[in-house]
A and B are shown apart, each in its own frame.
Chain A
């Protein structure tokens, strides 16, 4: 479970198939595949014929979710090797998307954030996007000093992968950036940063 009570963090309320949607676009990462598989178990297979699934296996590749997702026989199943081609494909999908398309995202928080960023860019109201957190609790963090973003942060503090400052991960999230805020932890007395502690396994 993610830490609760962070006011600026989106609530990931879970995938919830909208029976009235004309088309479903599922953008899934790693363990996020299981979120859709669970929905099929609960709601039946009817929506799959009007569904497009974009999948990035990432760390969950050994679990071969791609085989399971493909076996669901959606209208389109497409698998990306890395995030960059996935975002490229997503843009193409949104470019052509019609009224009545429902976007659903499942995976780690950093993944959800980056997909939502693209969706918001295309004018989708973020309230209308169904999201479900699955997999690691690692955070995507922006350094407030150099503005560089570090993915998959599991400890606090952690060294900024761009400027090297040791950063405290604040419980403050920007939807626009799809990232938490990282602030230099030993700014007052450089060199006194505590040891990194595993906070987001």
Chain B
């Protein structure tokens, strides 16, 4: 299928919108009416047609605009993309994985030709046609991870595995929900999750780490995570918190439907073949409350979930200030009818 890429912005005038097709395929993260804290891992396998799970590396109508926004972020702050020196093999693993998936699932838009180590990569939406030598970083205009993640939606962390732990040793992070790669690079799994409330005490991270250390090649895994963002802003970094923080005071009962966005991360984890590192993809999807309530099941369920959120979690996700306004506005979409199980629209 040929995707029509939208021309839109994630800053200043915020012209980002979802098409009707894209609303229906939004990865709504709540499979029941009350909030439940869990690791919620499942195999990252192909799902329903016209869902974000149709392809394992999803490309959608926001692709070109997201890549333009990433380029702007990197101009302002090059430290959003960093790799420790021992991660070069893993960088090539990532380049191969992303090129192969994009070319295989979107042949109208991407082509990868391999002639031994001589590879040709064609990215039509971005007007790129490069030939390079796989394994020779000097033949690309950027280091391999930066090169390919300037052409792939989502944030990317490459996590090294050693000493029975995982280490955040490389990443391209420009669409993050308030964490800093520059601060966390080099940390292990428990360290970089340090600030997350509640989960350490109930053993969530111990179980998740154990699970990930055993991740097998060819069997990627995924989970959904979520928060809310005022305005469709991709770059909600701590670095720029003093710039986007004031947005949170601009929400009113009149504008909440258009201003407040559910921000869902489709997180997928992939064992890499040469380096034995893990690629952690954090793909961000945004939808305004007004767009979301066009699916009646989601309109009923979201206010119920928001009401059941423990205060620590609301605080960590930065929702405390605007939760009452959201719940009030959403109330009219909840007629009290039961909802079906699972995340998909009825």
A pairs with B:
yes
Indicate if A189 sits at the interface (CB-CB under 8 A).
yes
| A176 close to B186 (CB less than 8 A) | yes
Chain B neighbourhood of A142, CB < 8 A: 183
Residues A175 and B245 in contact in the complex (CB < 8 Å), given A7-B193, A144-B238, A181-B180: no
Give B290 Cβ to nearest chain A Cβ, in Å.
23
Cα(A176)–Cα(B183), bound, Å? 8
| A171 close to B195 (CB less than 8 A) | yes
CB contacts between A and B, total, < 8 Å: 66
Provide the A55-97 mask, 1 if CB < 8 A to any CB of B, else 0. 0000000000000000000000000000000000000000000
| A188 close to B246 (CB less than 8 A) | yes
Residues A187 and B183 in contact in the complex (CB < 8 Å), given A8-B191, A171-B195, A172-B195: no
| B183 close to A184 (CB less than 8 A) | no
Which of A147, A165, A181 has a CB less than 8 Å from the CB of B242? A165
Q: Identify which of A171, A183, A187 gathers the most chain B CB atoms within 10 Å of its CB.
A: A187
| A170 close to B195 (CB less than 8 A) | yes
| B245 close to A184 (CB less than 8 A) | yes
Chain A neighbourhood of B200, CB < 8 A: 7
Provide the B116-128 mask, 1 if CB < 8 A to any CB of A, else 0. 0000000000000
Chain B neighbourhood of A145, CB < 8 A: 238-242
Chain B neighbourhood of A177, CB < 8 A: 183
Give B196 Cβ to nearest chain A Cβ, in Å.
9
Chain B interface residue count, CB cutoff 8 Å, equals 26
Indicate if A190 sits at the interface (CB-CB under 8 A).
yes
Give A156 Cβ to nearest chain B Cβ, in Å.
15
Chain B neighbourhood of A7, CB < 8 A: 190-191, 193-194, 200
Cα(A184)–Cα(B239), bound, Å? 9
Indicate if B182 sits at the interface (CB-CB under 8 A).
yes
| B183 close to A174 (CB less than 8 A) | yes
Indicate if A6 sits at the interface (CB-CB under 8 A).
yes
| B194 close to A8 (CB less than 8 A) | yes
Nearest residue, chain A, Cβ from B184: A174
Indicate if B192 sits at the interface (CB-CB under 8 A).
yes
Interface residues in chain A, defined as those with a beta carbon under 8 Å from any beta carbon in chain B? 6-8, 142, 144-145, 147, 165, 170-177, 181, 183-184, 187-190
Nearest 10 interchain pairs by C-beta: A187-B245, A7-B194, A8-B194, A8-B191, A188-B245, A176-B186, A184-B242, A187-B242, A144-B238, A187-B241
